[in-house]
Amino acid sequence: MAFALITGASKGIGKNIAEELAKRKTDVLLVARSQNLLQQLCNTLQQQYGIKAFYFVADLSQANAPQQILSWCQTNNYAVNILVNNAGYGLSGLFEKYSEADHVNMLQVNVVSLVQLTSLFLPLLKKQPSPSYILNIASSAAYQAVPYLAVYSASKSFVLSFSRALHYELKKTNISVTCVCPGPTDTDFPQRANIGEKGKKAAEKFNMKPEDVAAIAVQKMFGKKTEVITGFANKLGAALAWLAPKGIAEKTAASIYE
């Protein structure tokens, strides 16, 4: 019996991905920083869907967290055939507003831990007798440079590029890699990222429910899609950002987050 391992699973998109998988009778391993929220979610999923759910408390801004997660799985003989790299956050405002440690911690969560977990679990996913999946959650911000979300947007561009390349490399294996790029979603991301009122109001016009994003993500993952943008407005925005001169796209984005 194999599990889906989900990072950032205590709230938002990650929590809803866990529930979407539980609906499909997939056993889950939940990872996040909040023990109380993880424990509550495990109990809820087990009671409502009759699946097995276990949790591990970890802070992915710590360099040794991915290895600790792997060791936890190995110690408990948890076989994993789905890896969901969902954990991530943003910081808005001038680059110089934040310390070196702030930027490094965010990159550790958004980029480095994602690569570490993928590297650590890839050999285990390959050993599974049935199809295995890697689902990476990026952002619609991956499609352009976003002033005042400079490091965040760059980190999500990395996730998208990395995911597409890995999808190609693994084409002849049992592993499929999918990258989902949500736009504004009704989570606590704006609060965590310190998004200003103008940015919050702009996002509210296009906000998707996290359960809708999660449903799309899981469906496309099992459909072995390479890259997914959730919502028509976000697909249009990504297309316009690609077509427009970079300076105009960046000026437009800056006017929202400045």
Q: How many whole angstroms separate alpha carbon 22 and alpha carbon 53?
A: 9
The two tokens of residue 119 are 């590297």
Q: Containing H/E element for 192?
A: helix 189-192
Of the CA atoms within 13 Å of residue 202, those in its CB half-sphere come to: 16
Q: Containing H/E element for 54?
A: strand 53-57
| Residue 210 backbone phi and psi in degrees, to 5 | -60, -30
Q: How many whole angstroms separate alpha carbon 58 and alpha carbon 60?
A: 6
What is the number of residues in the chain? Answer: 258
Known catalytic residues are 152
| Residue 51 backbone phi and psi in degrees, to 5 | -110, 170
CB–CB of 142/153 below 8 Å?
Answer: yes
Q: Closest by alpha carbon to 43, among 53, 35, 34, 33?
A: 53
The two tokens of residue 171 are 């084409």
